[in-house]
Structure 1
Amino acid sequence: MESLSRRQLLGVLGAGTAAAGGGYWYVRGSGAPDCPEYLEPDREFWESTSDAWSEPVVDGGTVFVGGGAGIVQMSSGSRMFRLLALEPSGEPKWVARRELAGGIGRPQPTDDRVFASTGANTLLAFGRETGGLEWEFDAGGNVEGHMGVATLVRDDTVVASVTDPDHDELEGSNAVVGVSASEGELRWAVELDAPVSNGLALLEGTVVVATRAGTVIGIDPATGDRQWETDLEGAVDWGSRPVSFAGNAWLPREDGMLVAFDPERGSIRDRISSDRADDERDDETDGFVQAVRGSDEALYVGDRDGGVTAYDADGSERWRYEGPERIAALEAGADVVGALDQRGVYTELEPETGDASRAFLLVDVRGDDRCGHVPSERRFSGFATIRHRLVVTGRIAFGARTYRLPPTR
């Protein structure tokens, strides 16, 4: 295997990475952060376009990852993108390939199929066991328009968002559509006032749609009827989506305010504001992009200062872990809370206390200063754990990697 240090160094020096959306700048000197032991990946997958991948989705012992997630328009025609179905070991179970004008979003598996939105404004349905394409719903506007990253399934209806469609039954610039899961035919459409990316969730039987403008809508997935509409009084980041905890839907605004609302009626019930947010910062102001997770016990929130806070159902703070760098993603399990920061360090926290039990570096950059890159909010897409394996995906010169976690002591 080629040295990861060499790969990362070439990524720093190469012009292609900067053109793709932001390079990493090497930080020299004694101020470089102290890094834990490096964990060597045993498998790696690279995307041909900017190494952009969706967050991994684990379902029924299989990991699904979409290539090119978030890429909505190619500068020169279409490219080949892949959808990976991986065994727990990281070995491919199957790989589906499609030539598209935009990437494949976060996969949504069911018992029979795997659905995925695309940046080419098409919704794809693959066979769960074989990866063969079963049908394709084309919303039109395949170059100018695109779908959001997220896809949902309720009974026999697949839900996705579209932007700038060119379809006889779709009007306006933005909409959420319901498509037959078995045949790929359009069943209903709901027009929106702003685009949607990750802001789709199925909570308490209701499709909750969060637009970039901060409007949240509840939709009946069977009929497409609007159930309610709420204004969060603040914009929502592209990467934010509602999560469920203690009977509420929780959604982070761009300014760092976390808002709780009733998923069945839309009424706002609570707000949590980070007193650590810096209102004067106008760069990377999203406080909680992908780093909000709910469990049966607590709501876990990662912020741009590197902290992870556990909240109880009444909004009170249970504990806080003080980390050195912005949190990229969280995973909340019964035995451990996993946190990935933008240095490329994965840390395991005790769910009851927030104490760090162990940590591993996932990006070996260069020698003693291997964590010495200025972090970027786009560096990682997410991670998942399955059978003592860690599957980590990234954006912009990182790729998708699987790691074998050492046994706990």
Structure 2
Amino acid sequence: TGVASRPAGREATRPPSPLPVAEAGGGGGWVSVGIAVAVGAFLVRASPAVIQAAWGVGLVATVIGIWQMRRDRPLFHRAGAVTVALGLLTLTVVSANSLDRSDLPGPLAALVPPAEDIATTGAEVTPVPSETAVQPGARNDVRMAFGNPAHTGEHPGPGFAGAPQLAWQVDLVGEVFASPVLVDGVIYAGTRAGFLIAIDAATGRERWRFDLGTYVLRSSPAVVDGTVFVAGGYDLYALDSASGEVRWRRALRLAGPSSPVVVDGVLYLASQEGDVYAVDAETGSTVWDEAVGDLLFSSPAVAGGLVYIGSDGGDLLAFDVGTGRVRWRFPSGTAIHGSPVVAGGSVYITNRGGVLFALDARSGTERWRFAAGGGATPAVVDGVVYVAATETGLAALDAETGLPRWVYATGGPVTSAPTVAGDLVYAGSGPTLYAVGLDGVAAWRFPTRATISASPIVAGGAVIVASQDGTLSSLRDASAPDD
């Protein structure tokens, strides 16, 4: 017939394949499920244990899918190795972000900045009783952002100059962008997940948490007379500091990173959409409400009968505390996202262009300017301005003249507003917290797990620092005797 015939008996003598052919498409589904499980856990900010478990499940599912693709060779060739490599790469990225860097092997662990004579522990709560544990009392309180209504950045202290030791460390399960506060031995911290959490300062154990819903907390709370004031979404809340129960709630325009200030029974706050509020702290009723006409990312500072705030349009404005009338306005030339600092008859502000201005607090007349390069809120204590300086680190300037006294090089930009307590200045630069003497000489540094954008708390012999990954750490002097 002209058609070649297969030799008789050939099929009978062919050995069976050790790998049965799988149904087409069986591997791709497993790979997709594996990637979805791991990435989903990472995006919802689950606890580290859940993330690691999801990563393991995702990896197993991906391996099963790859194996099925191998058995169904036409499918494997059609899908291509690129899809498989992409799945493995995604899982690797997720796991690298969710695991503790200290657990990484060999060369990866070497990428973590070395700590010089610095003790660290894991993320579990590890109380270390000591004489330097934060104790309740007004002298140890940091009631609002930047330390006080004038935002000078001065904390009660004491801190310590010796090598730091980790007293405890907890995971708040949500990034922390704004500075926590400390009142009567309790730390109050807000997270990106929309929770305000009360934490015992001596042990790190949670006392209560308040759910603001789906809104990100980007501002610090203020705690006065047993009430915690916090803004999130389109509401301002007054909570009982002991229980977290709501005392009152009022609507406001979108709350942004502006932190409240409470002075003489009146709360001052700005909405991101451009309103400056004065609110009765006892009832939540409006005292006055003024529209600026620009977006507001700055927090108000209050001193000498005036309320100061910077605008995204580049102006620094001074309002009368009683009426809300604008007393003066100073154009800085570009957006102001940092907060004003009032000290010694001057108000200090940095703009997004990296210029630090010193103005007369009563009139708004410029006294001097200095191109520091950083846009973070400065600290001003005892005639010295401490400010972020471009890529070089932390700079100290004479508050009267603006002339530099010293610059401490951190190797990168300062990412938090400085805190001053006693003879030391504390500031975050990337994932590292630095303690620098008032003479510009470093005392110590402590590596955290992520960038520090929140100012540290320094009170009662402890230094408390939050990093953006949600880790809250309490440090004490390693040489201090234990009880």
On whether the aligned pair clears a TM of 0.5, the verdict is: yes
**Is residue 383 from structure 1 mapped to residue 418 from structure 2 by the alignment?**
yes
**Is residue 253 from structure 1 mapped to residue 323 from structure 2 by the alignment?**
no
Structural mapping, 1:177-256, within 5 Å: 177-237=237-297, 240-256=298-314
Structural mapping, 1:89-100, within 5 Å: 89=161, 91-92=164-165, 94-100=167-173
What CA distance in whole angstroms lies between the structure 1 residues aligned with 2:139 and 2:432? 20
Structure 1 spans left out of the alignment, 5+ residues: 1-15, 21-39, 49-58, 67-84, 164-173, 278-284, 365-374
Flag the 1:42–1:386 CA change in 2: closer, same or farther, 3 A: farther
Flag the 1:246–1:358 CA change in 2: closer, same or farther, 3 A: same
Q: For 2:278, what is the secondary structure of its paired residue?
A: strand
What CA distance in whole angstroms lies between the structure 1 residues aligned with 2:296 and 2:121? 30
Structural mapping, 1:297-312, within 5 Å: 297-312=345-360
What CA distance in whole angstroms lies between the structure 1 residues aligned with 2:174 and 2:300? 28
Match of 2:215 among 145, 155, 158: 145
Q: Deviations over 1:247-303 (max 9, x none)?
A: 2110000011111112333222221112xx2xxxxxxx52x3225211132111223
Match of 1:358 in 2: 406
Match of 2:192 in 1: 119
AA aligned to 1:110 is: V
Q: Deviations over 1:143-184 (max 9, x none)?
A: x32223210112011011122xxxxxxxxxx10111001111
Flag the 1:92–1:387 CA change in 2: closer, same or farther, 3 A: farther
After TM superposition, give the deviation of residue 193 of structure 1 in Å. Answer: 2.3
What CA distance in whole angstroms lies between the structure 1 residues aligned with 2:141 and 2:432? 15
Q: Which protein shows a greater Rg?
A: 2
Q: For 1:380, what is the secondary structure of its paired residue?
A: coil
Match of 1:402 in 2: 434
The TM-score with structure 1 as length reference comes to 0.65
Is the CA contact (8 Å cut-off) linking 1:337 and 1:350 kept in structure 2? yes
AA aligned to 1:151 is: P
The TM-score with structure 2 as length reference comes to 0.56
Match of 1:160 in 2: 230
Flag the 1:386–1:136 CA change in 2: closer, same or farther, 3 A: same
What CA distance in whole angstroms lies between the structure 2 residues aligned with 1:222 and 1:63? 20
Is the CA contact (8 Å cut-off) linking 1:107 and 1:114 kept in structure 2? yes
What CA distance in whole angstroms lies between the structure 2 residues aligned with 1:197 and 1:46? 31
What CA distance in whole angstroms lies between the structure 2 residues aligned with 1:407 and 1:299? 24
What CA distance in whole angstroms lies between the structure 2 residues aligned with 1:46 and 1:337? 34
Flag the 1:91–1:393 CA change in 2: closer, same or farther, 3 A: same
Flag the 1:259–1:316 CA change in 2: closer, same or farther, 3 A: closer
- In the alignment of these two chains, the number of paired residues is 304
Structural mapping, 1:48-67, within 5 Å: none
After TM superposition, give the deviation of residue 360 of structure 1 in Å. Answer: 1.8
Flag the 1:258–1:111 CA change in 2: closer, same or farther, 3 A: same
Identity, in percent, stands at 20
Match of 1:130 in 2: 203
Is the CA contact (8 Å cut-off) linking 1:41 and 1:404 kept in structure 2? no
* Aligned CA-pair RMSD: 3.5
Q: Deviations over 1:175-205 (max 9, x none)?
A: 0111001111111111122223234222343
After TM superposition, give the deviation of residue 328 of structure 1 in Å. Answer: 2.6
What CA distance in whole angstroms lies between the structure 1 residues aligned with 2:121 and 2:432? 6
Is the CA contact (8 Å cut-off) linking 1:62 and 1:86 kept in structure 2? no
Is the CA contact (8 Å cut-off) linking 1:195 and 1:211 kept in structure 2? yes
AA aligned to 1:180 is: D
Flag the 1:97–1:218 CA change in 2: closer, same or farther, 3 A: same
After TM superposition, give the deviation of residue 107 of structure 1 in Å. Answer: 0.9
**Is residue 268 from structure 1 mapped to residue 323 from structure 2 by the alignment?**
no
Q: Deviations over 1:306-326 (max 9, x none)?
A: 432221233254532432524
Is the CA contact (8 Å cut-off) linking 2:360 and 2:367 kept in structure 1? no
Structure with the bigger percentage of helix: 2
Q: For 2:417, what is the secondary structure of its paired residue?
A: strand
Structure 2 spans left out of the alignment, 5+ residues: 1-92, 98-114, 124-137, 146-156, 442-483
What CA distance in whole angstroms lies between the structure 2 residues aligned with 1:269 and 1:229? 15
Flag the 1:404–1:158 CA change in 2: closer, same or farther, 3 A: same
Flag the 1:324–1:293 CA change in 2: closer, same or farther, 3 A: closer
What CA distance in whole angstroms lies between the structure 1 residues aligned with 2:440 and 2:416? 26
